[in-house]
Structure 1
């Protein structure tokens, strides 16, 4: 089910996954508002800020995962089917959740606990209303960019210019949405316990 533009037509900036997903949510709200209630921003991280993800578009050698502090994907969950939209993955866009789980997430069972993934699931509408980033996390101590920023202005709310940490945090007392372990996320949205 494609609720976004094609991968090539999406607003995309490398290393700004949270903004890429925000832009997808913005598009869905403008073009397919009736579907917005079934769309979620999913922040993936953990307390150690070390999460492995496979099938990364950057062309890693062999079967090695990329290890990131966090990543953000879009989830569309409708009528018993769930799809992942991940502009940084080499998997299909969109990708059925179970295929994405099997190939990109794999399982926490064979990973050291420091690599176990947690997922913060935030409604698309809530994400659009509350998320703010001044992109300061993408600058070094000298003020130089780690990676060039998107060409559009920073995303902010009327009351906030930066709250990215509240979304990356996997503390349930912080931020918005609901936090899941990887297995509980799969059970919730794919009705399966095979991951």
Structure 2
């Protein structure tokens, strides 16, 4: 994840059932949100915060055809409102089958960690803020067990044409998929409006079967996770 050249700057459990967590207990390397979320999902599972197999958590890639998505309350912003223009961003959403709202785990957010999905949408997505169509956000939702088996990144996207790092990489080894794939990040972040579907019967089936999950529009996000929580 890198800031678009038009971004603001090149700067760097919240329900009754789930208290706010200490974000410092989770690994975070600036501009590597996909790897941060991969490790976050693993830690949520091993620490017993999520189901051991990760069945209650989902990885969500936010981007669009233009690789320009505005999000608010981001730590990397130098603006008072925290708005920033990412080329893509990655978060984790956990459903609460006990009846509470889904929780959003966003390591780059200045909001409570995690945040209830309705307030995260209101404060970070800000659907009431009218955007030009070039900045409309799309969401690729991937079931975490599939993502943890399938995702791979050798970090090639963070090197310039001379092979130099544009941002310092994480200290851990690059992530490889179970089948030996070393890089497929582009398959997750390449998102277009034509990929989005409004057929919720199809969405719920594909979500648990497809390597790349499903693509939805921002006005479908809360509804999708409300339906998932009811299953």
Q: TM-score under structure 1 normalisation?
A: 0.89
Distance in 1 (alpha carbons) for counterparts of 2:23 and 2:82: 24
Corresponding residue of 1:112:
132
Which of the residues 169, 180, 184 maps onto 1:163?
Answer: 184
Q: TM-score under structure 2 normalisation?
A: 0.76
Q: Tell me, what secondary structure is at the counterpart of 1:156?
A: coil
Q: Residue 68 of structure 2 contacts residue 88 of structure 2 at CA under 8 Å; is this kept in 1?
A: yes
Distance in 2 (alpha carbons) for counterparts of 1:6 and 1:186: 25
Distance in 2 (alpha carbons) for counterparts of 1:149 and 1:185: 31
Q: Tell me, what secondary structure is at the counterpart of 2:35?
A: helix
Identify unmatched segments of 5+ residues in structure 1.
Answer: none
> Over the residues paired in the alignment, what is the CA RMSD in angstroms?
2.3
More strand by share: 1
Distance in 2 (alpha carbons) for counterparts of 1:24 and 1:30: 10
Identify unmatched segments of 5+ residues in structure 2.
Answer: 1-12, 197-209
Trace 1:100-179 onto structure 2 (pairs within 5 A). Answer: 100-107=120-127, 110-157=130-177, 158-171=179-192, 172=195, 176-179=212-215
Change (3 A) 1:165 1:175: farther
Corresponding residue of 1:7:
23
Q: Residue 131 of structure 1 contacts residue 155 of structure 1 at CA under 8 Å; is this kept in 2?
A: yes
Trace 1:46-125 onto structure 2 (pairs within 5 A). Answer: 46-63=64-81, 65-79=83-97, 80=99, 81-107=101-127, 110-125=130-145
Change (3 A) 1:118 1:3: farther
Structure 1 stretches of 4+ moved >3 Å: 1-5, 171-175
